[in-house]
Structure 1
Amino acid sequence: MNKWLGIPDTKAVDFNISFWSGLSSGLISGLVTGIIAGIAIWIIQEKVQGSQAKKETEKEFAIFIQKLKQKFLLSNELIMSYDGSEYLPQNARSVLEFINEQPLSYWEEKLDENQQKEILRSINTLLNVEIEFKHISNSLNIKIIDLLVKSKGPHFLKQYSTVFYALINDADNTFVKDWFGRQLSLNDNQIDELREQQNEFTDLITQYKDSRSLLLSSSDALKTLITNPNTSI
């Protein structure tokens, strides 16, 4: 006789087996149920958080597009520079600088609407063209500096380089004299001499002009796409 339970020993054994078996079964069942419930809650939370994160990303991207539109509205007046990669209209330079500051890879991963993806493809095309344009510009910068050092000496190299790029981009003598006449006291003969010196590397200049033209046309294509969403490029 079990003095604690008040039942025979044989029945006590059966009771213990039944009790502990039921308790273990209940614990396991509860544990499994808890795990399943926990997973279900985690999945729901992940979906909610994912949905919220996506909305935040879409909002962030929409704000970026609005600011990008504003950059395109800036003046298209040329910004003078001794660096060929920076000899661009103000709006194009501002657009490129602004785009290069953005988390494009993150947006590519998170955004899935066709229009958003199309805009990002257009941006990547523009940035790839910019990389090639900078590469060609750097090569041309070196050639121009080397030429000017030999023909003009080490003084006013930045000013003369800027004039050189103005001439490469089809500036006339009046434009050059208006911009640089006081600094360099250039007359028509001196300007024509600089223009003739382009013959020293015509192939590289042609590459530069073609690359620059492609950069500006790619910029215009992006502008068209974000301004007219139904336009496909």
Structure 2
Amino acid sequence: MSSRRTTTITGSLLTACFSAVMILSHTAVADDQGPGSGKGGKAMDKAPTGVEVTTLLPEKISVDNSTQKTAITATVKNEGTKESGNIRMLVVGFDGLTVKNVEGCTAMAKKDLPEGSNSGFICSAGNLAAGKSKSYDVDATFDLSKTGKICLPVQTSDGKKTYWQQGPVPFGTTNPSPNAPATPLLLGTDNKPVAPGGDRLPRAGGGSEVLPLGMAGAALLSAGAAGLWWAGRRPRQEH
């Protein structure tokens, strides 16, 4: 994987838009993904007064049809008026979307993944000041013959409370382009894959997910009809 950087920026800058989608053969790019969106997000456990954490995902990503590689920018921010306290964000993949790496974050052990997920990383965001955010470059692959979902829970550093959870929310397209160099996918859209010959493939993945996990801490109620999430282990300290 190429080296990427984790940056902390002001909340106001998060609204900056990127206009074009760059399609580069055999590579995945995290830029030009459109404005960030909190689609599929929901407040969970009550946060301390003055703390309001949320997440953002790009409205669109691009999957290289030959390598299945894609890149996603995942952002956690504090829209409140007080410091967040030490928090962490989890980046978890489902179905055809597999998270390969998140720069500066720790991979979850297979036994610690929630049921139905295939990959996950724990990102220690530290203590976010009011109006501040932290963005992470996510390397992933997307099997276009399946649906694919991603989930971003934001928890206390010990995983005992979840203040916010975005997802599991799908990326997908209703108009596949198997013969093109890349396939653009939109956030909040179920993928409807088509084989190169034009034959529709069976759709993988279901609607709601129930995601119990035998880890220490409180069980977490998922966004919408997603079911139960988990309370995870304390991540390794960042250097």
Which has the larger strand fraction? 2
TM-score class, shorter-chain normalisation, is: under 0.3
Q: Give the structure-1-normalised TM-score.
A: 0.26
Which has the larger helix fraction? 1
Q: Which has the larger radius of gyration?
A: 1
